[in-house]
Every structure is written in structure tokens, then in C-alpha cells.
DNA sequence: TTCCCATACTCAAGAATATGACTAATCATA
DNA sequence: TATGATTAGTCATATTCTTGAGTATGGGAA
């Protein structure tokens, strides 16, 4: 039920096509939700049918035509209702953690390789988020922007994304260190 | 496809009944995956049919009988294959982040209330994880345990859970501060 | 002594998500 | 001048996850 509201929240900052939304929900920028293009196109269709978003056709000459969507008053009211209702707790669900959980009983080498790769990906996201944050606060320093800026929501979710990716990066680096050490030294029960 | 492997990984530390597993996958201990009892019972049935786990009936007098499961050699081999294959990236997916993303355009009060509650929950999990870590490393200090301990997988995933919950707590507290400040002071575009 | 909670588990149905295959045009690159 | 990447979508199917309801027993509190 929340992809719906994630789309509404993402559309608050202007008009987007399904294609643009899909990129935002796929690449780093999706610091508060993630979804595939097919899901987003389907969701936009439903939202339009419910009158929560409205789209307008934009005829392009050099590219296929596209439809740009924006949130209607009804859509904003729906978001308001959603925000007032209880949130379901969020959980970690990560393939890599399953592998680490089992790492004493299986070959550690591929797990170490995947941790290294994940650390690299997280580090890349950290940079993306840092740049995005700098862009969002414009010239202002952070405290000033957070106190008086007009639109801080995306900044705040981006801060969460940044913290999450930093944690991921640091944990992956630390764990690879531990596992590399262990593969060279003896363990005792 | 990964609940299957999460169950196998969880069963590596001894025998569990479906009911016990369900509690572990629900409460704090689930630092690497989360699932409802119904899913787990169904998964155990499938895993047993595939020969990846084996169960034995334990007759109890004061309580209903139960079945305790353990991983078979085939199950361990399946985990090995899983660990060697690529992991799918993990994403944040959180109702609360959707609400924060929209917070400039909707009533902030319920969002602040939910952030406060979430911070409380995260702080409680931090304590649970800290106690669990202390128990897992026994008398040893962390460096010693990580270097020479017999089974560090659960400890490492628990470290990730701890980091995640600390981040969540700190972020929630910081954001509630920001939003409370803003609701008392004027903003300019 | 009634009621609720914990143990231990099952079944069915529905909503949400993921996978894979397709159309169709333009643009850059090799 | 093929080749692949990018823009802009659609359709169908499969898997996974969630919701809701039920069964049965024993123990403790009101």
C-alpha cells in the first residue's frame, strides 16, 4: 500500500514522467523507496484513475512522446491521511547478511568478494548523496537551511540515505578485514 | 528466493521448531531477515520436502508436541551455492521515510510523533543487540573473539543490526529536533 | 471459574513485488 | 553502416509477502 504514497511523495517536487520516476526510484536518489519501472507505470495508471495524480501529454519531436504527472489536491489529501496513520516498522532484509550469518560454515572467499563489492557500491552512493545534499541546500550552511529552508523533506530523507550507506560501507570494510584475518589464522572453539 | 536461505542460515546454530524460528524472525534477533510465522512454517515444509532440512518429533506432555529441525548436508551445500552466487542489492523501504519526504506539504505533527516512537523502538533494539553481542562473545573481548572465536557469523550480522538501529535512533532524534524547531519558526523560500 | 496469554501449528486468499519479453524511435560510437 | 545505448513505455506471469481466521492445550491472574 505504500508504493502509492511513495510515488505521491516523489511527485511533490514537480512534474515527472513515468520514465523519469523510474530512474529516480532505481538509482541512488531513491533514498526512501525503491521500485521497478513496471510497478511505477502501473501505479501511475491507478493513481490517475483514482484522481490522485493528473498527467499531461508532452509531444516531443526527437524523442517518443511522454506524459508528465503531478499530484492533485485529492492526492495531497491522501498523503495527509497516510502520514497520520501508523507506520509499519521497517526491517533489514539483505542477501549479504544471510551469507555473513552462515560464513563460519561455508567458503568465506565469495562472501569476502561480495562484501568488498558492496563496500564499493556504498561508498559511491555516499558520494552521490553528499553531492545531492550540497545541491539541495544551495549556498546556505546546513543548520541555516534546516531551520529556514522552504523544502527540507527530501534533504532529511537524503540524510538518512547517507547515514545508511556510510554504515553499510564501514561495516563491509570492517567485516572483510575480520574475515581476511581469520582465513589466515587458526580458530579455536 | 532468499527466505529459504535465511532459514537455513538461522538453523545452523542448532535445532529449532517452527515456533521458535518464528520468534527469532520476528523479534530483534532477526538482524538479517524478517518473516511471519506462516511463511516460516510453509518454508520449513518445502525445505523438508527438498531434503535441505530434517525434522524430528519431540513429544511433550505439558505442551503441544513440536518438531525440531536441523540443516542436512544437502542444505549446507545449497547454502554454499547461494553464498557463491551474486547478491541482489538491498534497498531502504520505509513508510516513515515517505512521510518525512512529504513533510513540508502535510501536517508535521503526526510525523513527529511517529519519529519519536520509532526512535524509542530503535533505542530498545540497540540495547537488545548490545546484550546479545555481550552474550555471544562470552568472556572474551571483541577483538579476541572476532580473531579466534569459533562462530562469528551471528556476531557480525548482529553488529550490522546494532549499527542500523543506532543510525535509525540518531536520525529520528535529529529530525524530530529539526521539525519541532521549524514548527515554531518562520520559513522563507 | 472465566478469561486471557503462551505454546504449537495450519489453511486460504489477497496484495505487493519481481521477472521476462516486447514495441519503437533516435543518438552516439566503432 | 551495423551495434548498442537511451528515451518512453506495455503486457503477462510468477514469486513472495501479508492478512485474517482457525485448531488445540495448559497455565496464571482477576
- Cross-chain residue pair B171–A188, CB shorter than 8 Å: no
Q: What is the pLDDT of residues A97-154, one digit of tens each?
A: 999 999 999 999 999 999 999 999 999 999 999 999 999 999 999 999 999 999 999 9
Tell me if residue B73 falls in helix, strand or coil.
Answer: helix
> What pLDDT score does B18 carry?
97
Q: Which of B65, B84, B103 is the last residue of a domain?
A: B84
What nucleotides of chain D have any atom within 7 angstroms of a protein Cβ?
Answer: 7-12, 15-21, 24-27
CB contact residues (below 8 A), chain A span 28-47, against chain B? 30-34
> What pLDDT score does A61 carry?
87
> What pLDDT score does A186 carry?
67
Q: Is the pLDDT of residue A189 over 60?
A: no
> What pLDDT score does A89 carry?
87
| Cα A167 from Cα B166, distance rounded (Å) | 10
Asked if the structure places residue B89 within a domain, the reply is no
Nucleotide nearest to B39 (CA to C1'): D17
Query: Is residue A104 domain-shared with residue A62, that is, in the same domain?
Result: no
- Render each residue's pLDDT in chain B as its tens digit; 189 residues: 899 999 999 999 999 999 999 999 986 567 889 999 999 999 999 999 999 999 999 999 889 999 999 999 999 999 999 999 999 988 889 999 999 999 999 999 999 999 999 999 999 999 999 999 999 999 999 999 999 999 999 999 999 999 999 999 999 999 999 999 998 876 765
Number of domains in chain B: 2
Asked if the structure places residue B112 within a domain, the reply is yes
A47, A74 in Cβ contact below 8 A?
A: no
Q: For residue B78, what is the nearest residue in chain A, using CA coordinates? A: A106
Instruction: Please list every residue in chain B whose beta carbon sits closer than 8 Å to the beta carbon of residue A88.
Output: 95
Asked if the structure places residue A90 within a domain, the reply is no
Query: Is residue A58 domain-shared with residue A109, that is, in the same domain?
Result: no
Q: Is the pLDDT of residue A15 over 90?
A: yes
> What pLDDT score does A187 carry?
75
What nucleotides of chain C have any atom within 7 angstroms of a protein Cβ?
Answer: 7-12, 15-21, 24-27
| Cα A171 from Cα A119, distance rounded (Å) | 8
Helix axes A108-136, A153-184, angle to 10 degrees: 160
Residue written as cell 541482489? B88
Query: Is residue A112 domain-shared with residue A166, that is, in the same domain?
Result: yes
What's the count of helices (H) and strands (E) in chain B, helices before strands?
8, 3
| Cα B71 from Cα B166, distance rounded (Å) | 33
- Closest partner residue to B9 (CB to CB) among A102, A159, A181 is A102
Statement: the CB of B50 is under 7 Å from strand D: no
Asked if the structure places residue A34 within a domain, the reply is yes
Average pLDDT of chain A, as a whole number: 94
- Cross-chain residue pair A161–B92, CB shorter than 8 Å: yes
- Cross-chain residue pair A33–B93, CB shorter than 8 Å: yes
Backbone angles phi, psi at B91, to 5 degrees: -125, 150
Query: Is residue A76 domain-shared with residue A115, that is, in the same domain?
Result: no
> What pLDDT score does B44 carry?
98
Cell triple for B5: 536461505
Q: Is the pLDDT of residue A1 over 90?
A: no
CB contact residues (below 8 A), chain A span 58-117, against chain B? 76, 79-80, 82-84, 86-107, 110-111, 114
- Round and report the angstrom distance from CA (B65) to C1' (D25): 10
Q: What is the pLDDT of residues B142-180, one digit of tens each?
A: 999 999 999 999 999 999 999 999 999 999 999 999 999
| Band (A59; pLDDT cuts 50, 70, 90) | very high
Residue from B27, B30, B73, B153 to probe the interface with A (highest A Cβ count within 10 Å): B153
Statement: the CB of B186 is under 7 Å from strand D: no
> What pLDDT score does A184 carry?
79
Instruction: Please list every residue in chain A whose beta carbon sits closer than 8 Å to the beta carbon of residue B31.
Output: 92, 97
Asked if the structure places residue A189 within a domain, the reply is no
Which of B's residues 115-144 have CB atoms within 7 A of nucleic strand D?
none
Query: Is residue A171 domain-shared with residue A105, that is, in the same domain?
Result: yes
Q: For residue A73, what is the nearest residue in chain B, using CA coordinates? A: B105
Query: Is residue A35 domain-shared with residue A113, that is, in the same domain?
Result: no
Query: Is residue B116 domain-shared with residue B72, that is, in the same domain?
Result: no
Q: Which residue has the higher pLDDT, A63 or A151?
A: A151
Query: Is residue B104 domain-shared with residue B175, that is, in the same domain?
Result: yes
Q: What is the pLDDT of residues B128-140, one digit of tens each?
A: 999 999 999 999 9
| Cα A86 from Cα B124, distance rounded (Å) | 19
Nucleotide nearest to A16 (CA to C1'): D8
Query: Is residue A40 domain-shared with residue A99, that is, in the same domain?
Result: no
- Cross-chain residue pair B92–A185, CB shorter than 8 Å: no
Query: Is residue A104 domain-shared with residue A134, that is, in the same domain?
Result: yes
Q: Which of B84, B108, B127 is the last residue of a domain?
A: B84
> What pLDDT score does A41 carry?
98
Q: Which of A55, A84, A113 is the last residue of a domain?
A: A84
Residues above pLDDT 70, as percent of chain A: 97
A148, B185 in Cβ contact below 8 A?
A: yes
Residue from B32, B73, B110 to probe the interface with A (highest A Cβ count within 10 Å): B32
| Residue-number span of the structural domain to which B22 is assigned | 2-84
Query: Is residue B71 domain-shared with residue B108, that is, in the same domain?
Result: no
Asked if the structure places residue B90 within a domain, the reply is no
Q: What is the pLDDT of residues A24-56, one digit of tens each?
A: 998 666 789 999 999 999 999 999 999 999 999
Query: Is residue A16 domain-shared with residue A60, that is, in the same domain?
Result: yes
Amino acid at each position: 500500500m505504500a508504493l502509492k504514497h511513495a510515488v505521491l511523495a516523489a511527485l511533490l517536487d514537480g512534474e515527472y514522467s513515468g520514465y523519469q520516476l523510474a530512474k529516480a526510484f532505481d538509482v541512488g536518489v531513491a533514498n526512501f523507496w525503491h521500485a521497478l519501472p513496471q510497478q511505477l507505470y502501473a501505479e501511475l495508471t491507478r493513481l490517475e484513475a483514482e484522481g490522485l495524480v493528473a498527467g499531461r501529454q508532452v509531444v516531443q519531436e526527437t524523442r517518443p512522446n511522454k506524459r508528465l504527472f503531478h499530484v492533485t489536491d485529492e492526492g495531497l489529501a491522501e498523503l495527509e491521511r497516510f502520514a497520520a496513520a501508523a507506520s509499519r516498522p521497517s526491517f533489514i532484509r539483505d542477501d549479504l547478511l544471510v551469507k555473513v550469518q552462515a560464513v563460519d560454515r561455508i567458503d568465506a572467499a565469495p562472501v569476502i568478494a561480495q562484501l568488498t563489492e558492496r563496500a564499493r557500491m556504498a561508498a559511491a552512493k555516499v558520494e552521490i548523496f553528499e553531492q545531492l545534499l550540497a545541491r539541495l541546500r544551495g549556498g546556505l550552511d546546513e543548520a541555516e537551511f534546516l531551520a529556514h529552508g522552504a523544502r527540507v523533506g527530501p534533504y532529511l530523507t537524503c540524510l538518512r540515505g547517507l547515514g545508511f550507506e556510510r554504515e553499510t560501507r564501514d561495516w563491509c570494510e570492517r567485516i572483510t578485514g575480520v574475515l581476511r584475518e581469520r582465513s589466515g589464522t587458526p580458530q579455536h572453539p
